Every structure is written in C-alpha cells, then in structure tokens.
Amino acid sequence: MKVTVTGATGMLGAALVSALRDRGDEVTALSRDAARARERLGADVRARSWADPKREAPPAEALAGQDGVVHLLGEPIAQRWNEDAKREIRDSRVLTTRNLVAALRDLEPERRPAVLVSQSGTNRYGARGDERVDESAGEPGPDAADFLTGVCVEWEREARAAEELGLRVAITRCGVVLSPDGGALEKMLPPFRLGIGGPVAGGRQYVPWIHTDDVVGGLMFCLDTAAASGPINVTAPGPVTNAELSKALGRVLGRPAIAPVPGLAVKALYGEMAVLVTEGVRAVPRRLEELGYRFARPDLEGALRAATGR
C-alpha cells in the first residue's frame, strides 16, 4: 500500500510510519522539514516538504497515485491556552485539513487516493457525565461551547468535504493516549513517582484512554477496512474514571495514589486547559468492535505497564 502521512514526525505519526514500514508499505511523509523527517523516520521513507500547512496546499506529488492518506497534523493541546495558543491549536487542524482537501480536489480523479483517515478527538462529544457515548451520539453534548469541542466540529467538517471527491473518509476520534514517548502519561508520571499523585477534581470524570499500539492499530485498520467510514472512536473498550486510572497507575509504579488534587488548583495551574483533566467523556469504540478490530492492549493495567516499562 502507498500511504501518505501528515504529522509524521510527531508521537503518533512516527509510530504509525514505523508500523507501516514494518508491514511493507511505501510511506510518504509530509513535513515542514523534509530533511529532518528523513533523518528521524528512515531513508526509505519518501519525505516531502509542506512548509506552511496553514497557508498552502501540500505538493501534488505527495498525494497523486497514493492509496491512502492519514492526516495527523495538529499543534499539541497540552499547553497553557492563551489566545495565540488557541488560535494555533484550531488553525493547525482546521486550515491544514482544508488545504489538504483542496490539494486532493486538484488531482485528476484517477490519481486521487481512495481513503482519507483524518484524526479528531473524543472532545467532539463535549462533557456527558456517566453516559456511554458511541459514534451514534450525534451533536455535541450540553457543553457544546467548549473550545476543543468546537475545534473538533470544524476539523471534522473540513475532512468530510473529501467525501464529495469520492474518497472514503474515516474520522478517528482518539482518546487519551498512553504512550512511552510523551502525551498525557508523561505529565502524570512525575507526581505519581514522588508518591503525591491521585484523583483530580474528585476523580469521577471518565477518561477514554487508549495505548499507542491501539491508536496505530486503529489507524491502520481504518486504512485497510472498506467499511470503516465516518466517525470512529479510537478508544479502549473499557473507559475508566480518573480515580480508577490514578489507582491503576499507582499500582503499576508501586506508589500511593491517594493524594487528591482539587479542581481549583488544576485550573489555577493550567487555566482553561484544565478541562482536559477536570472533565471527560465515557467514549466507547462501538464501530471498531463492530468492524472486527482486535485490541492489542484492552486492559488498563497492562497498557500502563507497557507504556511505563513496568
């Protein structure tokens, strides 16, 4: 399979490129710095420059004749949000997706890829308490004014415009990624290793977690599976509360996990970005399971041990 990956040098992108190469696919990486992408990803990866994704379309040669595109580009959301940061978080998703679809539109129909797998997030659903939320949930929940919910709505709308071009479009709504190479777990580990970790803001909010192996597995499954289209939750089958996640991480690290972290303290530290940990959604992967995806790491404690090397 010939696959183009955007965001290929990021945490998930690099893992996906490695997995695609391992199974013999021909990978093209779109990156602001093609030389750095080749250095990081390997000489057999065809790297092409997309110097300003928010303002220009990617080069046609990176898309023409490919079988599929996986679009992972986006500014990290785990940072303190000021107006500039929020603008970058939104534009790096919405505008780059718009420009990507514009480039696909400009290709001759017979040269277009057959499938676009475009990343999104479970933030799309808004805060929904204890409700089990699958892809049939429809419009965002009562917290529809939430910044990330709005970003996801716009982001997905731009990606689904590729359906008008005849592409199969899968929107992968990804949960909280447990990875040995960064992400949410990287920020959680220091206080837990010191024995001062614990549930945040009461701990009742749900965490739709997933291990990196299953993010990559889910993305590849969506590339390969003709019936995979529309929104698809890329989350583990068993979402847990923040308190349950804290206890499991404490067990894995052999540290107590009973020090509560007040929501007001998190908001004082992180500002508006605190909603990432003080609110949650009980998202479940109904479509992946219906389509036959087999999770590599469905168990939380096993996933945490793999991600932490414990």
What was the pLDDT predicted at 145?
58
For residue 200, what is the DSSP state? B
For residue 173, what is the DSSP state? E
* Positions in the chain short of pLDDT 50: 143
The model's pTM: 0.95
In the chain, the domains with their CATH numbers are 2-177+210-235+282-295 (3.40.50.720)
Q: How confident is the model over 246-267, as pLDDT tens digits?
A: 999 999 999 988 888 888 878 8
Distance of alpha carbon 56 from alpha carbon 33, whole angstroms: 15
Q: What are phi and psi of 169, to 5 degrees?
A: -120, 120
Please, are residues 89 and 150 in contact by the beta-carbon 8 Å criterion? no
Among candidate residues 149, 5, 134, 16, the one with its CA nearest the CA of residue 77: 149
What was the pLDDT predicted at 244?
95
Q: How confident is the model over 126-137, as pLDDT tens digits?
A: 888 899 999 998
Q: How confident is the model over 83-96, as pLDDT tens digits?
A: 999 999 999 999 99
Distance of alpha carbon 226 from alpha carbon 170, whole angstroms: 10
Token output for 173: 């709504």
Ordered DSSP codes for 235-300: S-SS-EEHHHHHHHHHHHHTS-----B-HHHHHHHHGGGGHHHH---EE--HHHHHHT---S--SH
Distance of alpha carbon 238 from alpha carbon 300, whole angstroms: 8
